[in-house]
Amino acid sequence: MLKTNAFDAASSSNVSPEALEMIERRRRLLGPAYQLFYKNPVHLVRGEGVWVFDAAGRRYLDVYNNVPSVGHCHPYVLEALIRQASTLNTHTRYLHDNVLNFAEKLVSTMPSELSQVMFTCTGSEANDLALRIAEDFTGGTGVIVTEFSYHGMTKAIAGLSASMGPYVKVNGDARVIPAPIHNPANPAEVGKKFAADVRAALADMHRHGIKPAALMIDTFFTSDGGFFDPAGFLKEAIDEIHKAGALYIADEVQPGYGRSGEHMWGFQRHGVLPDIVSLGKPMGNGHPMAGITIKPHILERFGSESSYFNTFGGNTVSSAVGLAVLEVIEQEELIPSVGRAGKAILDGISELATRFPAIGSVRGAGLFVSVDFTTPDGKPDSETALAVVNGLREEGVLIGASGPHANILKIRPPLVFTAEHSLILVESLEKVLRKMY
């Protein structure tokens, strides 16, 4: 797996002795598989809204985390968690209003066809469950994913996460296709090419005697580098999948919960209807929650033949938290606010691109913005992107990099980010670039 923005002990000259001691303790106890961000790692101890604070009390603007979707330690969500945790926490095999109230609220935000819910604890589990159901319903095993996709960490789903790198093999019956790269000069070609790539993958499955089960895509193609436009470009590809008798699984773990600033769900931006929607990270504002919504006829046989149970999925505390998150998005009118904040980021960084040639494409939808860094001859420039990421860390802004070459700034803050916070981000980025050029 490409380790973007990873700490390297060989370049630890600016790290304090106290941090080095903690890093060594971490290495000894957690082993080598965990990644640590930044050349100079951050020791966080507290969060509030869009801000996080380190052990020395320094404040950082969080421009990376979609997990605390309505802001770190939101008091309304915390109150719901504490109230229910102090009363009862148990699983879904007992009757309880919480899971039903949460399920009703969740499906009310979806197209009416997606009227049933199953709860898990992680997005990996949600995608794993979605895959099991898709294979059961279609009788197929072939899944189409994009070249630098990330869908989770279970054995089956890691094999559909092409971004994991060559050490983690892509599932044998899966087919990997290019992400739908933006084409401002000819936007109509984006959807046509993506649909052609889907057709080619289906044809290759047919040649090898593989029956297709699903197209599984993150609606924003976030790990691929973030590709959003033109709105509606997914429709032709989804039509091809359905013609082949397969299902469309919309991985909404990153695009969902109002992040587009236009709709609650990323797939709505394209005017398409998934067969299964997988949900995760932002669902619990940091509390481990995930799940799927699904068309009932797709779930019917699986549900009757294969009883499903998840000890913690949909428990009474999680359901109280999930309901509170949805209520905050609604009560605080966050979706229009997301649109305003995202536009301020896009406009601000687009203006910087006119003065700093290292910035290539700037694109986004709401509070998901991707900023390419390229060399003078147009090639991906991961060195500059990672220098910017680490420069912003020193300026008090936490951000990440993504894409196959780690040359793309991944701007994905909590939904409570405002236009004023966007200005702080843009000004900090300008300051870092001025130091570099």
**Structural domains counted in the chain:** 2
pLDDT at 233 over 50: yes
Q: Is this model's pTM higher than 0.85 or not?
A: yes
Q: Do 268 and 396 reside in the same domain of the chain? A: no
Same domain, 164 and 301: yes
Q: Are residues 82 and 204 in the same domain?
A: yes
Instruction: Looking at the structure, tell me whether residues 328 and 290 fall in a common domain.
Output: yes
Is 216 in the same domain as 266? Answer: yes
Q: Dump pLDDT digits (tens) for 351-398.
A: 999 999 999 999 999 999 999 999 999 999 999 999 999 999 999 999
Does some domain include residue 372? yes
Q: What is the pLDDT of residues 324-335, one digit of tens each?
A: 999 999 999 999
The reply to whether 92 and 131 lie within a common domain is yes
Whether residue 383 sits in one domain with residue 310: no
- The CATH number linked to 65 is 3.90.1150.10
Rounded Cα distance between 245 and 141, Å, is: 12
Tell me the pLDDT tens digit for each residue of 267-280: 999 999 999 999 99
Q: Which of 332, 364, 381 is the last residue of a domain?
A: 332
Residue 3 confidence (pLDDT) above 60 = no
From 310, 332, 354, give the residue that closes a domain: 332
Rounded Cα–Cα distance for residues 372 and 407 (Å): 6
For residue 14, being part of any structural domain is answered with no
Which residue, of 309, 332, 355, is where some domain finishes? 332
Is residue 219 located within the same domain as residue 148?
yes
- Mean pLDDT for 22-32 is 92
Task: For residue 1, name the pLDDT band (cuts at 50, 70, 90).
Answer: very low
Residue 23 lies in a domain: no
**Where does the pLDDT of residue 4 fall: very low under 50, low under 70, confident under 90, or very high at 90 and above?**
low
Same domain, 68 and 183: no
The whole domain housing 415 covers: 42-73+334-436
Domain match, 320 and 354 both? no
Please indicate, yes or no, if residue 225 is contained in any of the structural domains. yes
Q: What is the pLDDT of residue 13?
A: 66
**What pLDDT was estimated at residue 362?**
97
At 70, the pLDDT band (50, 70, 90 cuts) reads very high
Same structural domain, 66 and 119: no
Q: Would you say residue 84 has pLDDT above 70? A: yes
